[in-house]
């Protein structure tokens, strides 16, 4: 098994008397597409900034490719790029905005075909939009230009903070497809924070929940072995009239992932100190409105032995 791309150990970050983040342990595999869900103030943006090495944690370490790294490290952000919720464009044309990142990193003069391809990936016609100035773009167009400016760098890590906030549904779909092409084309690792759980569920491999700076739900490390007892159903309220032999136990949603190839969703659950995995049709998972960290009730054919 290859070493995780990121390893977070004992991370605590303060902006005041209370910690904005408190994450004892976190690992992000290479090539993963991870979603971060949680309310405003839960620490999503702060975690992205620390993963981008724009901020150093108050305590703890962040290892990248097995080595400690921080904002003061040489080439700390080489190969890592962050798209903010409110994208910032330079007061110049679209093409100049796309080429600036390459110039800043000393990677030579951008080829026109590179810039055109990045615009095409986000659904903007190069001949039309390449000549536009920053003030001639709508909010959705500006966000897509900002994403294209990052994709042209071919980053190894693409961090996205609320990439669909303030954009219409067609733009959100274009952003989703463009971001995923980064993994398809050169194996980029993506971490995406979003309030839009429907969009997030269609985009990422797993969704991790943040609550008050704590990871409310993330895959256990090391992974817990699967149990022989298979869950039969999942309810948001304690069910009644289960029938003979069946029992219901309280549980917490530990992770969500989507398997679009067979149209099913995977729900990882923790109940009474044990890990369970439930696979349901995608529409059923979405219909339940599940979120990481959420309390629910799991129905089993029998209660496992202590």
Q: What is the mean pLDDT of residues 293-301?
A: 81
Asked if residue 222 is part of any domain, the answer here is no
Residues 209 and 276 grouped into a single domain: no
Q: What is the mean pLDDT of residues 216-244?
A: 61
pLDDT tens digits, residue range 147-184? 999 999 999 999 999 999 988 889 999 999 999 999 99
Is the whole model's pTM more than 0.85, yes or no?
no
186 HSE (CA, 13 A, CB side): 13
Task: Give the pLDDT band (50/70/90) at residue 224.
Answer: very low
Q: What is the DSSP letter of 135?
A: G
Local structure of 290: helix, strand or coil = coil
pLDDT tens digits, residue range 64-113? 999 898 888 777 778 899 999 888 888 888 988 888 887 777 666 667 88
Closest CA to 122 of 169, 179, 174, 176: 174
Measured CA to CA, the distance from residue 79 to residue 105 in angstroms comes to: 10
Task: Find the range with the poorest average confidence among 5-19, 141-155, 204-218, 259-273.
Answer: 259-273
- How would you classify the pairing of strands 274-281 and 264-271? antiparallel
Q: At 132, which CATH number?
A: 3.40.50.300
Q: What is the mean pLDDT of residues 238-267?
A: 76
User: Which residue has better confidence, 190 or 206?
Assistant: 190
Task: Supply the pLDDT for residue 53.
Answer: 94
Domain that holds residue 47: 6-217
Q: At 282, which CATH number?
A: 2.40.50.100
Residues 208 and 250 grouped into a single domain: no
pLDDT tens digits, residue range 22-72? 999 999 999 999 999 888 888 999 999 999 999 999 999 999 999 898 888
What is the total residue count of the chain?
A: 306
């Amino acid at each position: 098994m290859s070493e995780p791309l990121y390893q977070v150990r004992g991370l605590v970050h303060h902006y005041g008397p209370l910690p904005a983040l408190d994450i004892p342990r976190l690992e992000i595999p290479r090539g993963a597409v991870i979603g971060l869900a949680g309310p405003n103030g839960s620490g999503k943006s702060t975690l992205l900034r620390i993963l981008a090495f724009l901020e150093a944690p108050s305590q703890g370490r962040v290892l990248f490719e097995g080595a400690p790294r921080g904002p003061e490290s040489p080439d700390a952000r080489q190969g890592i790029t962050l798209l903010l919720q409110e994208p910032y464009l330079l007061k110049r044309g679209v093409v100049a905005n796309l080429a600036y990142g390459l110039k800043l990193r000393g990677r030579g003069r951008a080829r026109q075909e590179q810039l055109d391809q990045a615009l095409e990936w986000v659904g903007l016609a190069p001949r039309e939009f390449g000549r536009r100035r920053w003030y001639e773009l709508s909010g959705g167009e500006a966000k897509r230009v900002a994403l294209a400016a990052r994709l042209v760098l071919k980053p190894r890590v693409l961090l996205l903070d609320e990439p669909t906030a303030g954009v219409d549904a067609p733009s959100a779909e274009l952003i989703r497809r463009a971001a995923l092409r980064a993994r398809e084309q050169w194996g980029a690792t993506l971490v995406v924070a979003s309030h839009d759980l429907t969009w997030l569920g269609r985009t990422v491999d797993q969704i991790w929940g943040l609550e008050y700076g704590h990871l409310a739900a993330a895959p256990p490390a090391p992974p817990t072995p699967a149990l022989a007892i298979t869950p039969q159903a999942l309810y948001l309220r304690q069910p009644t009239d289960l029938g003979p032999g069946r029992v219901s136990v309280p549980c917490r949603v530990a992770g969500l992932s989507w398997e679009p190839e067979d149209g099913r969703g995977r729900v990882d659950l923790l109940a009474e100190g044990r890990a369970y995995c439930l696979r349901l049709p995608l529409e059923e998972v979405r219909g339940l409105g599940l979120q990481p960290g959420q309390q629910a009730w799991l129905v089993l054919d029998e209660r496992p032995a202590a």
